[in-house]
Amino acid sequence: MLADVRVKKIKEILLEYKHIDINTLSSLLSVSMATIRRDLDKLEQESFLVRAHGGAFLNDPAVDEVQLSGSEDPYAQQKREIGILASALIDDNDIIFIGGGVTCLQIAKHVKNKKHVTIITNNVNILTELASNTEISLKAVGGDLEVVDQCLTMAGDISLETLSHMYFNKSFVTVDAIDLDNGYFTNSPQQGKIIRLLQKNSDDLLIVADYTKFGKRAFSYVGELLMTRKIVTNIDLSESYKKQLFESGFQLYMTFDNQ
């Protein structure tokens, strides 16, 4: 691979993942770690990235926003795959709501090749992500600022007031816990209120949640299990949950590990 092509490839990877380690880069591009280090040094001089121990971060103020929790998200890959799958469920001409959290942010990142889509969101990170996308009509919901799963998110009376006048083809939201007997839970009571409102204001309410969210409860009750019958999650979901959800008439979309 030519050096120019390789450097361009590294840039692409970093723009998508925001940070990456040398090991992975070297196996992805099939070149030695020493070569990768040289390329990263070059890119650091261009201020494109910041070198860190064993890898590099994209030099981008937005990265700080994504890294709000300060620690690495162990399920980042699972959330990314859910985002890709959920974005495939968006049709042309849809008017959709996308809520707070990293999984929802991943949906927004992968809305591609869709025509005349309108996105309404209370997720500030989605606004910055989609700001440059001219194909999408983007509308923001205001309100009180909360941090939901590493994302700056609006909530409270102002959000509810705005959303109560809107109607959506599809709403994508995330929850913090799903329990077969008790239903859905969020850590923030305010986000729960928004989901309850969306249930009334949407043709389809889709819950996006990685498999670790199942089989537990969280602080604030959102609603019973059957308030929606569409869930996007990972293939790693336990067999008993798959079985019971499928047999209760759930449309259960699952992602496979891409290796």
Partner 1 sequence: MIRLERIVKTFEHRLILDHIDLQLEKGKIHGIIGDNGAGKTVLVNILSGVYQPDQGTITIDGKPVRFSSPKDAIRAGIAAIHQETQIVGKLTVAENIIMGDRSGISRSTWFVSWKNMITESERILNQIHYPLDPHRLAETLNLGQQQILKVARAICSSPQVLIMDEPFTNLSEQEIKTFKEIITSMQSSGITIIYISHDTDDILRRCDTLTVLRDGQVIHSGPNSFLGSIPPIRELLPIQDAFKYPRVPTRPGRKILEITNLKTGRGVHDASLFLRKGEILGITGTLGSGKTGIIKALLGLERILQGTILLDGEPFTPKDPHHAFSHRIGYLPEDIRKDWLHEDMPFSHNLTMSNLHELHGRMALHPELEAEAARRYITSLKIKVSRLDEHISQLSGGNKQKVAIAKLLFTDSRILILDEPTKYLDSSTRIDVYNLMSKCAGEGMAIIFISTDERELKGMCDRILVMKKGTCHNFFHRKETGRSFPLDLYTAPGEEPMGQSLNSPTRGSTPQRMESE
Closer by beta carbon to partner 1, 70 or else 249: 249
What is the closest distance, in whole angstroms, from the C-beta atom of residue 117 to partner 1 in the complex? 14
Among 14, 89, 141, 175, binds partner 1 (CB under 8 A): 89
Closer by beta carbon to partner 1, 65 or else 204: 204
Query: If binding is defined by CB under 8 A, does position 32 make contact with partner 1?
Result: no
Residues with Cβ within 8 Å of residue 171, at least 6 apart in sequence: 96, 97, 98, 99, 198, 201, 202, 204, 205, 206
Query: If binding is defined by CB under 8 A, does position 74 make contact with partner 1?
Result: no
> What is the footprint of partner 1 within residues 214-253 (CB under 8 A)?
229, 235-236, 239-240, 242-244, 246-253
Render 92-154 in DSSP notation, one character per residue: TT-EEEE-SSHHHHHHHHT--S-SS-EEEESBHHHHHHHTT-TTSEEEE---EEEEETTEEEE
* Three-class DSSP category at 26: helix
* Three-class DSSP category at 1: coil
Q: Among the candidate windows 1-9, 87-95, 142-150, 190-198, which touches partner 1 by CB under 8 A? A: 87-95
What is the closest distance, in whole angstroms, from the C-beta atom of residue 248 to partner 1 in the complex? 6
Query: If binding is defined by CB under 8 A, does position 85 make contact with partner 1?
Result: yes
Query: If binding is defined by CB under 8 A, does position 68 make contact with partner 1?
Result: no
Shortest CA distance to 220 belongs to which of 190, 247, 187, 251? 187
Q: List the beta bridge partners of residue 97.
A: 120, 171
Residues within the interface to partner 1 (CB under 8 A): 85, 88-89, 91, 229, 235-236, 239-240, 242-244, 246-254, 256-259
